[in-house]
Amino acid sequence: MAYDLQDKLVIAISSRALFNLEEENAIFDEEGLESYYKHQLQYLDSPLAKGSAFRFVQNLLAINKRFDNKLIEVIILSRNNAATGLRIGRSIEHYKLNIERTGWTAGTPVARYLEAFKVDLFLSVYAPDVEEAVNFGVAAATILPHTPITSQESDMVKIAFDGDAVIFGDESEKVYQEKGLEAFIEHERMNAQNPLSKGPFFKFLKTISEIQDKFPMESSPIRTALVTARSFSTHERVLGTLEGWGVRVDEAFFQGGVQKYEVIKAFGADIFFDDQDAHLEHTSKETPSGKVPHRRYP
């Protein structure tokens, strides 16, 4: 019987998001594919350094140790060709990551393969692939450079999300951008009983919530936090929307415009998703962070 990905939480990640391949990528850019390939073969037995999303992936995969049947699948989807993936495979084995499925597209955009692998979340350092994935309706984020990289395995994964244009749609954010703070607050109060639309990360959060429901609340291996620039005066619509969706977030912070990075650091996030560079510039210095692009509509 064929292996079914339908009921799994499926994360697709590029090799450069999982491992630090910046030196190798510079060789590719400056000297071409042949030099890149020779370099990888020369250092075949030297494990690649851990990349910005390594800790997130490592801790997610650790959840599977609690179950006979895996709940979470991590798949490498890379623009490399299969031959250049040899060192990546050796590095996966070195770090004992339970990754059994890979796709090597030799330069072909990877977004066209996301549906085939039933992907819930796509992570890459290559922004055009991420933008295309979001336009395909898949939660996706561009992983930003992050140091120092810590990767001690934990028995809990902590994921932090921005609200508007990430979990929720961007209609309220557009009111703020076009008309200012007072108009935004008034708009949200008037629409407090009207649910927000679903954003690009709704399905991903919903799937996480379904995994959390398999555990008593106090012992779930995944903990989530909403960290929003909204003030508490607009909380009712946000919390009512989550309740209506049957989705839980464990912690919620309404920052009222205060910078997010200290709260996210205190939460101990393995990864944080936001759509605004102003927040990500600070969070990425302390926490692995992903930029969520805005979806283009025809």
Longest dimension (CA), the chain: 64
Q: Can you read off the two tokens belonging to residue 173? A: 């954010």
> Which residue in the block uniquely carries the two structure tokens 């395909």?
136
Grouping H, G, I as helix, E, B as strand and the rest as coil, residue 71 is coil
Report residue 283: phi and psi, to 5°. -65, -35
DSSP assigned state of 201: T
Name the catalytic one among 162, 164, 170, 275: 162
Active site residue 120: no
The answer to whether the CB of 159 falls within 8 A of the CB of 271 is: yes
Grouping H, G, I as helix, E, B as strand and the rest as coil, residue 171 is helix
Q: 33-42 and 86-94 helices cross at what angle (nearest 10)?
A: 40
Cis peptide before 148 (omega within 30 of 0): yes
**C-alpha to C-alpha distance for 104 and 68, rounded to whole angstroms:** 29
Length of the chain: 298
**161 conformational bin, left if phi > 0, alpha if psi -120 to 50, beta if neither:** beta
> Which residue in the block uniquely carries the two structure tokens 């996480």?
208
Catalytically active residues are 162
